[in-house]
Amino acid sequence: MKKQPLKKLHLGKIKIASLSRSRQEMIKGGEAMLVTFMNTCSVLCPTRLCTTPPPPEQ
């Protein structure tokens, strides 16, 4: 009877590992997209208007 809970725990660990792995890939992909956006933005706006937030209007 002790072997069944071990199998369930093992399957749970595999699921958690696969979820965390896909999350890491999503985070890496997001960082790559952000870097690409910042690079293209700096090329389009040499004065860095895109990277800095606009001043608050009064």
Higher pLDDT, residue 14 or 31: 31
The DSSP call for residue 52 is: S
pLDDT given at position 46: 55
Residue 13 pLDDT level (bands cut at 50, 70, 90): low
Mind spelling out the 3-state secondary structure of 24-49?
HHHHHHHHHHHHHHHHHHHHHCCCCC
pLDDT in tens, 21-55: 666 676 676 677 766 666 665 555 555 555 555 56
pLDDT given at position 7: 53
| Statement: residue 6 has pLDDT above 60 | no
- Amino acid in the structure at residue 57: E
